[in-house]
Amino acid sequence: MNFTFEPLNIPDVILVKPKPFKDDRGFFLESYKASAFKEGGVTDTFVQDNHSRSSRGILRGLHYQKEPRAQSKLVSVERREILDVAVDIRKGSPTFGRWVSAHLSEDNHHQLFIPVGFAHGFYVLSEVADVTYKISAEYDAAADRGIAWNDPAIGIDWGTEAPILSNKDKTQPSLNEADNNFSYQERL
């Protein structure tokens, strides 16, 4: 198989490791293959691709879209390196308010699958980073929500106390105050 799928400490979040084929010309890898992802536990259908470029020290997040426009994401780094973070915001979940992270880079080619019911954010570790992600629902400004990046109830270790934030991300509410309509559904 050209992919390895590793559930993280919150098993619904999956670290995907594509297998690059390298030679003296460079490399080739499959970054997404629906049949392999289905076999690896990622059955979502992706309908939109996004690309963001950010400089060192920028933190984007924590973002999500409410139901019925909720999004799962498959996050990759095309250039340089980020710390990618997912927070479980599904009410009633045994891991509610917990977070997991992964270093994604152009060198390791890793991807992070973040399912519906999670807030997502990333912190840029390199001089610049190009981040791409597939999402399962189109962007809808009316459903767009967020949570404070530094909510002490979550306690994410971003590796910084003073990231560069957008005005929107400077004023996000805490997890307990967030407008969130996700409920935990145990998988059968």
Q: What is the pLDDT of residues 27-62, one digit of tens each?
A: 999 999 999 999 999 999 999 999 999 999 999 999
Looking at the domain assignment, is residue 185 inside a domain? no
Looking at the domain assignment, is residue 92 inside a domain? yes
Looking at the domain assignment, is residue 187 inside a domain? no
Instruction: Give me 95's structure tokens.
Output: 């891991």
Q: Which domain holds residue 113?
A: 3-22+46-177
Over residues 97-156, the pLDDT tens digits come to 999 999 999 999 999 999 999 999 999 999 999 999 999 999 999 999 999 999 999 999
Looking at the domain assignment, is residue 76 inside a domain? yes
**CATH code of the domain containing 8:** 2.60.120.10
By annotation, the residues acting in catalysis are: 63, 133
- The model carries a pTM of 0.95
Domain count, the chain: 1
Helix, strand, coil in percent for the chain, rounding step 5? 10, 40, 50
Looking at the domain assignment, is residue 129 inside a domain? yes
Looking at the domain assignment, is residue 132 inside a domain? yes
Closest CA to 107 of 137, 68, 148, 78: 78
Looking at the domain assignment, is residue 30 inside a domain? no
Looking at the domain assignment, is residue 32 inside a domain? no
Q: How many residues does the chain have?
A: 188
> Using alpha carbons only, how large is the chain's radius of gyration in Å?
16
Residue found by looking up tokens 């984007």 in the block: 60
The answer to whether residues 83 and 122 touch, using CB atoms and an 8 Å cutoff, is yes
